[in-house]
Amino acid sequence: MLPGILCFGAGQRIDGGSFGTGTNLRRPHRIGKTPHSSGGGLTLISLFTALVGLFLQGLTFLISYVTNSNAFPVPLSEEEEAELLAKLQDGDIEARNILVERNLRLVAHIVKKFENTGEETDDLISIGTIGLIKAINTFDVRQNTRLATYAARCIENEILMHLRSTKRSRNDVLLYDAIGADKEGNEITLIDILGTDPDEVLERVELSVEQERLREMLTSLGPREKKVLELRYGLRDGIRKTQREISRKLGISRSYVSRIEKRAITKLQQEMLSEQAHS
């Protein structure tokens, strides 16, 4: 993770308060670390509560704008951003609203990374927008970090916490769980290594782990485990197959394919953690 970069935990209101009567304000945590709580992340109830908070602050139109339009506001120039951040430091709410609106393109870009998780895009954009607002509320202009870099981590972290809390598919949780960090300390998930769209947004931190490293690690798997991962994630031809398609191709049940996939991913996760510990 980036040194010094913090982001509020799920369940904390975007206006600096906390959800629910008698609920204390949560301490900020480092990006990529999910705080332990009974809720396990951003629940559906807290999401609706957050959206009510957005409405009360006059920001609901932002989510509606993103989910119902392919057009996005033009990103701010460095000078415009600095001016608005200065106004925000003085408590200018309008400056915050503009910062949120003009960074919606970043939310949409990051959401694309999670389009194969089975979640509705509208929901992910709503959750990502909450992360963006938290980022803008907590951004420290004294840090030698661009707002876009900081916000990207907060947006992604908010979505990851949601995915981990819903646990619709244990496979998805494995793919998006942290399995290590690059040389700069940024969290790496297995889906990052298996291949996603390259990050082209401003100064997003690039992942240092390449696909070649994964291919080398695949040699530690059994033949069937390796075959399932190659088919599932298109490691050879770039064409990803569903578990049902793989089951037909290999002549085994879909549930068996799922178990093989999870077992293989767990092995890779353990190997990467072991490799990192000895590096």
Interatomic CA distance for residues 7 and 27, integer angstroms? 9
Would you say domain 6-167 falls under CATH 3.40.50?
A: no
Nearest to 69 by CA among 111, 110, 122: 122
In contact, 109 and 204? CB cutoff 8 Å: no
Specify the pTM: 0.44
Interatomic CA distance for residues 124 and 117, integer angstroms? 10
Average pLDDT over residues 192-214: 45
Residue written as token pair 């609901």: 60
The pLDDT of residue 188 is 66
Same fold, 6-167 and 210-277: no
Provide the residue ranges of all domains of the chain, joining segments of one domain with +.
Answer: 6-167, 210-277
Token couple for 212: 């070649």
pLDDT tens, 266-275?
888 777 767 6
DSSP label at 9? P
Instruction: Residue 86: count other Cβ atoms within 10 Å of its Cβ.
Output: 12
Nearest to 271 by CA among 138, 157, 180: 180
Average pLDDT over residues 201-220: 54
Rounded to 10°, the helix 121-138/44-56 angle is: 60
CATH of domain 210-277: 1.10.10.10
List of long-range contacts for 208-212, beta carbons under 8 Å, 24+ apart = 208/182, 208/183, 208/184, 209/180, 209/182, 211/235
pLDDT tens, 239-253?
888 889 999 999 999
